[in-house]
Structure 1
């Protein structure tokens, strides 16, 4: 099972989209500063996740969510409290 997830940093109003096989471990890594690109925006909270059977399906969805169209989709469907994106 593969997961595509969206994290939100309420303190910095930043989003992050990623892919993993272990969602709980990955969130812990983000909040412990083990990811260079998310380290500056700790703390993170999980605001959305989707599961997929194959890596190919998950990569396709992750790529979409990181695109301009995906950002528009996130803006319409994922609105954490305090988000301004």
Structure 2
């Protein structure tokens, strides 16, 4: 079963990362306030990025990976700048040390 990892932009400027096996239905749920506690309080939301996978478990794994990223890393992904990800990962690691 196919799966999608997606990133929403919330009305307060925050990002929400999720995964689903039906992207259109899931976005509708978020917009209706039935998606998650995070998005329910920050409507409306806008789909700004997604990746499609052959299996839902791969989309879920990717969701969990991206949820741990900094805002700058997420924005590099959203903006189609994957070449910045390694540098941002190092910078983020340095800040934690």
TM-score when normalising by structure 1: 0.79
Q: What 5-or-longer segments of structure 2 have no aligned partner?
A: 80-97
Aligned to 1:82: none
Q: Which moved more, 1:16-25 or 1:54-63?
A: 54-63
Aligned to 1:16: 16
Q: CA deviation at 1:60?
A: 1.6
TM-score when normalising by structure 2: 0.70
Structure possessing the higher relative contact order (Cα contacts under 8 Å, 6 or more residues apart): 1
Q: What 5-or-longer segments of structure 1 have no aligned partner?
A: 80-85
Q: Is the 8 A contact 2:34 2:40 kept in 1?
A: yes
| SS of equivalent to 1:49 | strand
Regions of 4+ moved over 2 Å: none
Aligned to 2:7: 6
Cα deviation, 1:6-53, whole Å, max 9, x if unaligned, reads 0002x3001100011111111111011113231000000100010111
Bigger Cα Rg = 2
Aligned to 1:26: 26
1:1-85 to structure 2, matched below 5 A, reads: 1-9=2-10, 11-35=11-35, 36-68=37-69, 71-79=71-79
